Amino acid sequence: MLKQSELENSADLCRELPQLGRWLETAEARELLARFPRGPVVEAARCVLDRLRNEVKSGAYMRESLAAAIERLPKLVEAEIEKSGRPTLRRVINATGVLLQTNLGRAPLSKAAIRNIQEVASGYCNLEFDLASGERGRRDVHAEELILRLIGRQDRAATVVNNCAAATFLALNTLAESGEVIVSRGELVEIGGGFRIPEILRKSGATLREVGTTNRTRVADYASAITAETRLILRVHHSNFRMEGFTERPELDELIALGAEAGVPVFEDQGTGCVAQIANFGLEADSNWVRSATSDAALVSASGDKLLGGPQCGILTGDPNLIARVRANPLARAFRVDKLTYAALQATLHAYLAGEEETIPVVAMLRADAESIRQRCDKLAASLCGAGFAADTVATSSVIGGGTAPGATLTSFAVAVNHPEMSEAELTTRLRDCDPPIIARTHQGRVLLDLRTVAPEDDTAVARAVSLPRRPE
C-alpha cells in the first residue's frame, strides 16, 4: 500500500503526463503521423500513456525519472506501433531440450516441406483435380500412395484428417456408433488438452465396455466381454505415462487374433507416428506406428506432427472397406485437411522413402550425437562468458515429449547461464524478449540452454541475442 503522502505525490506526477489530444499536436507526434497512419499512432500513444499513468500510480517514478520517460515518448510510441504490427504467431528458438511440445508447435518442418508449401500455396493447385483425366479428383491421393509405400502394404488404404484426435473420433463414430467398444481399464487415458478416451467414446455415440484392471488386462478379459453389441476392440497407446511393476497387457497381434476369431475389428490409437528405428533411444518397444500400421489391425490412427516430423494431421490406415466407410462419414468433410498440409506431408513422407529422413528436423535432433552437442555448447558458453555472463557446459537429459515416449531420455548437453545482475526469472524474461524469442528452462538458479532442440544454424543467433543489451522499453 502507498502512504497518503505518496498517493498525493503520484496524483501530482500524473498531471505531468501530457493528455493524448495535446500530445498528438506536438511536433514529435506530427513527425510520427507523417510516417504512420493516424489510427495506429493514436492507439499506440494511448497505450503508452495509460501504461505510464499506471506505473506512476504504483509509485514507479520520481519527478526526474518521469521527465526522462516523457522525453522518450516518441521512441516509446514508435516501439509500440512496431509491436502492434508484428504477428502474434512467431518463430521461437526452443532451447528446452523437449523435442515435441504442443505449446511450441510440435515438429518443425523440413526444408523440402517448406519449399513444397511455398510452391503449392503461391498459386492454384490440383488439390481435387485429376491432371490425367481432367476430371474431379480426390484430395487423399496426395498422401495415400506414399503412406502405403511407407508401411509397405499396398492392400491397405489411408486417409488424412486434421489431427490424430479427429482420426480416432472419426474411426469410433464410423464403426461403433450405437454399439459397444471394448477398452482396457489401463488404457482409459487422458492424452492432454482435454482429450480423454472415455469422453471421446461417448461423444462418438459408442458405449464404453471397460475390461481388466488398471494394471493388468488379459486377452481373456476382452474375449469374455464380446457380445452381439460389440463393434470394436480399441487399443490405446499409453502416450504420456508409463506403467511399471505388476502389469500385463496383450500384444496388438493377440487382440487381432481374437478379433479375427470373433469377427470384431481392432482399432489402435497409436499416436506417435514413429517410423524410424528409435528403440535404442529408450522408446517403448511397442510405440512404433509403422509396426502397428503394417499389422492386420482393422484401423490405426497416428499424428503427423509427432515423431513423423511432419505437419499437424491425423493419419488413418487400415482395411480399404473400413477406410471407405470413414471417408463416406459426413463428419470426414468437417475434419479434412487443406492443401498446405498435403504439401508438407508429401515432402515428409518422401524423405523417409528416399532414405533422407535426416533432413527431417525431429529425426535429426533425435539422432544428434551428444558429443557434437557438447562442442556446440562449449562454443556458446565461451561467447557468453565474453559478454559478462557466467556460462558453462553441463550434462542434461533431453526428453521427447508430445506424449510419444514417456520416460525416454536422450543424453544431452546444455549451457548453464546466469548473470551477476539478473535473477533467473529476469534472464528467462529477457530471453523471451529476444527476436526470435528464446525459450529455456531453469534449474537450480541457472538458466539452461539445451542445444539438442536448437538448429545448429541458430547457435550464433542465440549467442548474439543473449548478449545484446536490452531493447528500450
Ligand X SMILES: *Cc1c(COP(=O)(O)O)cnc(C)c1O
Alpha carbons 93 and 450: distance in angstroms, whole number: 11
For the segment 188-227, give every residue that binds ligand X (CB under 6 A). Answer: 191, 195
Question: What angle do helix axes 339-353 and 141-151 make, rounded to 10 degrees?
Answer: 30
Using Cβ positions, the residue closest to ligand X within the complex turns out to be 271
The least CB distance from residue 195 to ligand X, in Å, is 6
CB nearer ligand X, residue 157 or residue 172:
172
Using alpha carbons, select from 365, 349, 268 the residue that is nearest to residue 311.
Answer: 349
Q: Which of 94, 116, 184, 239 binds ligand X (CB under 6 A)?
A: 239
The least CB distance from residue 403 to ligand X, in Å, is 4
Residues near 155 by beta carbon (within 8 Å), at least 6 away in sequence: 320
Q: Report the first-to-last Cα separation within the chain, whole angstroms.
A: 26
**Is the Cβ–Cβ distance between 398 and 429 less than 8 Å?**
no
The least CB distance from residue 236 to ligand X, in Å, is 6
The least CB distance from residue 270 to ligand X, in Å, is 6
* H-helix segments, 139-251: 141-151, 164-176, 197-203, 219-225
CB nearer ligand X, residue 235 or residue 374:
235
Residue 26 phi/psi, 5-degree rounding, is -75, 160
Check residue 159 for interaction with ligand X (CB under 6 A).
Answer: no
Check residue 164 for interaction with ligand X (CB under 6 A).
Answer: yes
CB nearer ligand X, residue 2 or residue 334:
334
Q: Which of 303, 348, 393, 453 binds ligand X (CB under 6 A)?
A: 303
The least CB distance from residue 193 to ligand X, in Å, is 7
Q: Which of 403, 431, 446, 453 binds ligand X (CB under 6 A)?
A: 403
**Phi-psi region for residue 454, left (φ > 0), alpha (ψ -120 to 50) or beta?**
beta
Check residue 107 for interaction with ligand X (CB under 6 A).
Answer: no
Angle 328-334-335 from CA coordinates, rounded to 5°? 90
Alpha carbons 310 and 25: distance in angstroms, whole number: 53
Check residue 186 for interaction with ligand X (CB under 6 A).
Answer: no
**The one segment of 36-44, 86-94, 159-167, 390-398 that binds ligand X by CB under 6 A:** 159-167
Q: Binders of ligand X: how many residues, by CB under 6 A?
A: 14
List residues bridging with 267 in a β-sheet.
234, 299
CB nearer ligand X, residue 36 or residue 281:
281
Check residue 405 for interaction with ligand X (CB under 6 A).
Answer: no
Alpha carbons 327 and 215: distance in angstroms, whole number: 36
The owner of cell 470373433 is 262
CB nearer ligand X, residue 61 or residue 195:
195
| Percent helix, percent strand, percent coil in the chain, to nearest 5 | 45, 20, 35
CB nearer ligand X, residue 10 or residue 204:
204
Q: Which of 186, 212, 265, 271 binds ligand X (CB under 6 A)?
A: 271
Check residue 401 for interaction with ligand X (CB under 6 A).
Answer: no
The least CB distance from residue 402 to ligand X, in Å, is 6
Which residues are at the interface with ligand X (CB under 6 A)? 163-165, 168, 191, 195, 236-237, 239, 269, 271, 303, 314, 403
